[in-house]
Amino acid sequence: MTRERLAVVSGGGTGIGRAIAARLAGDGYRVAILGRRAAVLEEAGAAIERGAGPGAVVPVAGDLADPAAVEQVAARIAELGPVDVLVNNAGAIITPPQDGSLAALAASWRRDLDTNLLTAVLLTTALQGALRRPGGRLVVISSAAAQRGGAGPHSAGSYAAAKAALHGWAFGLARQLGPDGITVNVLAPGYVVDTEIFGADWSEEFHARKVADTLVGRAGTPADVAEAVAYIASPAAGYLTGQVIGLNGGAVLGR
């Protein structure tokens, strides 16, 4: 298969990003998957290609919070051609500091902003000139935490704040890039299982509480998110821009 369209998925080696990459590869895109761990990307790429066929995936390793690394990643992507779809999915929940010091709190917030906000800002800025005009699609993966607040044992609120900051940034980009025929949308998932994000903080009790929050009585899956991204990325979604789209089983209503 000749793959003429290019998609870039940050955090494409695991969880939600991997499902998005697999879905877009299945839809005929050549997909560059990004993340810090080269071995994870290689393994994911091989697995996706077993389903989608050879040449579907290009793993590109680098820390997207590091400007110099992002320049290298963007240079590699530029060799692949214009970017039809950019999915800013990389992110993580940073464990809040326990010692109560403001210095530790500041370091933790900066790490959260680096991981969840700067990764998207740097990558998008580096690739902005390479986005297909017209027809490019920019998707930003936020979180229901941005809409409902996220303070608690798993977050000092910095995760919710970093994700919410993506929204205002994305609205400005939508205004800026709309005249070029590029759409910009934010997808805000609720609780999604089968990812690495909760790590050791995951428990049956946590899971039950999250499922109980939904109206449909189940957790989201990476495939749920991939399906929504596939629509937003499609030519059919050309009139959808500048939106925050909740995907949360009804855990957050109407925002």
Ligand X SMILES: NC(=O)c1ccc[n+]([C@@H]2O[C@H](COP(=O)([O-])OP(=O)(O)OC[C@H]3O[C@@H](n4cnc5c(N)ncnc54)[C@H](OP(=O)(O)O)[C@@H]3O)[C@@H](O)[C@H]2O)c1
Mind telling me the catalytic residues? 159
Residue in 121, 139, 141, 173 binding ligand X, rule: CB under 6 A: 141
Q: What angle do CA 246, 25, 85 make, to 5 degrees?
A: 55
Query: Least CB distance from residue 116 to ligand X, whole Å?
Result: 6
Between the two ends of the chain, the Cα-to-Cα distance in Å is 40
Cα 80 to chain centroid, rounded = 21
Phi, psi for 135 (deg, rounded to 5): 110, -10
Amino acid type, 125: T
Query: Least CB distance from residue 212 to ligand X, whole Å?
Result: 15
- Using rule CB under 6 A, residue 147 touches ligand X: no
**Number of residues forming the site for ligand X (CB under 6 A):** 29
138 Cβ neighbours under 8 A, 6+ residues apart: 85, 86, 88, 124, 131, 170, 173, 177, 182, 183, 184, 185
Query: Least CB distance from residue 67 to ligand X, whole Å?
Result: 12
Residue in 90, 126, 127, 161 binding ligand X, rule: CB under 6 A: 90
- Using rule CB under 6 A, residue 104 touches ligand X: no
In the range 6-65, which residues lie near ligand X by CB under 6 A? Answer: 10-11, 13-17, 34-37, 40, 63-65
Q: Which is nearer to ligand X, 214 or 240 (CB)?
A: 214
Question: How many CB atoms lie under 10 A from the CB of residue 172?
Answer: 12
- Interacting residues toward ligand X by CB under 6 A: 10-11, 13-17, 34-37, 40, 63-65, 89-92, 115, 119, 141, 143, 189, 191-192, 195-197
